Chains A and B, each alone.
Chain A
Amino acid sequence: MLDSFLFILILGPFIAAALCYIVRIPHIRSLVVLTTGCLLAVTSVLLFLNGPFSHTPPPILGVPTHWWVLWADDVLLLTMLYYGFKRRHLFSKILVIFQIVCLDYFELFMVDHDKVFPPFVADNLSLVMVLVISIVGSLICVFAIPYMNKHEAHQKLEKSRQPLFFTFLVVIIGAMNGLVLSNNIIFMYMFFEVTTLGSFMLISHDQTETALRNSVRALWMNCLAGAAFIVAMIWAYITQNTVDAQKLIAAGHMGGIMLTPLALLCFAGMVKAAQLPFQSWLLGAMVAPTPTSALLHSSTMVKAGVYIALRFAPGYAGTFLSQCLTACGAFTFLAASAMAVSQSNGKKVLAYSTIGNLGLIFACAGINTPEAITAAILLIIFHAFSKALLFLCVGDIEQHIGSRDIEVMRGLYARMPRTALIAVLGIVTMMLPPFGVLLSKWMAIEAASKHLFVIVLLAVGSALMVVYWSRWAGVLLSAPYEPRVEPEQQDVLTRLPLLVLAGGAVVLGLCAPFLYSELVVPFLPAPPFTIQAGIFENPTGAFVLYPIILVLALGFVCAVYAAGRARRARFSGPYLSGAQTADTESFEGPMRKPVAVSSGIYCFESIFGEERLTVWFNICGGILLALLIGGAV
């Protein structure tokens, strides 16, 4: 049973990818992607119901799996090297060659492959990750089918580049599933590299000059992460004589000897998760078609980074490394939130918000109490749904109105009521109670309360977050009254993922106690909260989730009813000092000419401007990161 589950979840996407690449018929490709998505989602649920396991897969075609992994690794690295030469980027070439040399020496001359231990182990953290990756990732792939058709129609390409695109889109899902299920860190490393190559290919997909430049940046930064990973792996093997992740974690930091490899692993994770000062690769990834950004940002790729930090969290509990990680994460949270405030580009706001939330997860991993780890895992789940939803909304909006600028989305409710409402819902689930992201943030703040420096960063950061989310939600609704708003036409495959993700974001938030007790508690040594009647409680605080949901839902129903009844009220235009013209959206100016009314959102360029802050934030982030690694050596 397990064999087939693992086969579908890890190798299935690779086979589907090969099919996408070879069979160049659009309908078959769509069918393959759809089937893979459904299959992955169902299998991930079955795997979860099957419970935690440790598993040794049988040899494939008579060859043990670790040889396959080594070959795959070499092929991968050589491909990267090829692109390094093709794009003439010295630094990535050096990094890739370094990795090839280290890896081959390590695999061929150092590792004792006869040691028996299961290369695949799943506990609740892995299973949760598999669920998130397979379900959210598949929905994004489904969304990509109509999206890419329109995208290419818009680009007027002679030859469709979709086969390549879908190949890497599904490959990343398989690689992520592999990464989170691996227990052998050599396997983990291989899958880590697959996501690197995949993101590189997806970012460069449009082949514009910016796309190529940004993809190279993503390549060298992620190769840096890979190099750190491989050094950590070798170092850990020298001290512990094993590549079994469970044993490495159980051994802990061994009085500091193991701290450096752990720090390097965290470093690799932080680069992958685009923490300061490495945020630029993720921001650059915005040039790619929206499904790419959605996939990289919500459920995969960046989540690989936080997964590694969380996976090894028990290993560095109570060390200086842990504290540094908290500081780095919290600082990233603040810095990313501050820079998001200065943006009016919707996708960039989303990107910074992702970086910020990942920072918060790293901070939780660093705090390393059961409470904080709970917050981190719940945040991974809720963030994946809400963020994927928002990205897909922005993608759909961009294809309709031709812009991703928040100012251009002003009054979108009048043009695309459905998408606008779903986007507002997504925004609300990102920042307000009773939804999940806020619940996890509450846990994070309560867990961080003893770390003075961190709590100040978190307090300021979350206030900044409120600013950029709420003004966006407000602007989307900013439309003059019309008795009937005509809903927009949408492809079924566009609407379905949006609705499922929106439903997921809301329903999962409401099921938080269930998620907590079923998914998170088994992973923790001791449950940090007691749950009674939907109330999360422990000595430091209480989150009365269900009563709040009940009252707010009641208020919501009343509000909807009142708003419906208010259609009978008298409608007038806004107050324009009495000078409004008949259409109420302009006023009578000089020479009796109508002047359109306009107003914009405050972006605080002079205070939070991206260009002003990036340098300083990068310096601070770099110092904190140096502290993290230096302190561990």
Chain B
Amino acid sequence: MDYLKVFITKSRIKSPWLLHFDCGSCNGCDIEVLACLTPVYDIERFGIINVGNPKHADLFLVTGTVNHRNKKVLANLVAQMPDPKVVVALGSCGLTGGVFREAYNVIGGVDKVVPVDVYVPGCPPKPEAIIDGVVTGLEKFARKKDDRP
């Protein structure tokens, strides 16, 4: 059984499917996320697929500030992801609300609404930094408790 557990942990690290949500970003971070998918960075070599569906996703990349309108959507998406899952906040806005944090409609960073595992700073973060953040998140899969008996 140990082999199976090891293999499953390895599979989790080897096959993180990714959901990307633009929570209110200026699109700077989003373009960098998409750049990761291009042949130059080719994150599919790590088994990462951009699935666009919370029910299939393991990794949740959130960019941009959270406001009163979309906080529900953010929470809903995280709730519809099956465990184990990792939430990665991207860019200054995702971390804290960035330059918009004082705006009347802005709540702040992603962690105001859902728990965040990895913070990737930058405005926008470079693709290398995003990949690094994702890989840091993957290490959490090795530590996260297996939810299935």
Taking Cβ atoms with an 8 Å cutoff, the residues of A that contact B are 570, 572, 575, 577-580, 588
Contacts and interface: CB of A to CB of B under 8 A. Distances in A.
Nearest to A588: B72
Main secondary structure of the interface of B (DSSP, over half): helix
B48 interface: no
A277 B30 CA distance: 61
B149 to A, nearest CB: 11
A575 B72 contact: no
Contacts of A578: 21, 54, 72-74, 76-77, 80
Contacts of B76: 578-580
The 6 A-B residue pairs with the shortest CB-CB distance, nearest first, are: A578-B73, A578-B77, A578-B76, A572-B80, A579-B73, A575-B55
Contacts of A570: 82
Interface string B61-76: 0000000000011101
Interface residues of B, number: 12
B52 to A, nearest CB: 10
A579 B21 CA distance: 13
B80 A575 contact: yes
Nearest to A579: B73
Contacts of B79: 572
A577 B73 CA distance: 8
21 contacts: A570-B82, A572-B79, A572-B80, A575-B53, A575-B54, A575-B55, A575-B80, A577-B73, A578-B21, A578-B54, A578-B72, A578-B73, A578-B74, A578-B76, A578-B77, A578-B80, A579-B72, A579-B73, A579-B76, A580-B76, A588-B72
A580 B55 CA distance: 14
B88 to A, nearest CB: 17
Nearest to A570: B82
A68 B73 CA distance: 80
Interface string B31-56: 00000000000000000000001110
B16 to A, nearest CB: 19
A166 B77 CA distance: 59
A575 B72 CA distance: 14
A579 B73 CA distance: 5
Given A578-B54, A578-B77, A578-B80, 14 more contacts: A570-B82, A572-B80, A575-B53, A575-B54, A575-B55, A575-B80, A577-B73, A578-B21, A578-B72, A578-B73, A578-B74, A578-B76, A579-B72, A588-B72
A120 to B, nearest CB: 66
Nearest to A572: B80
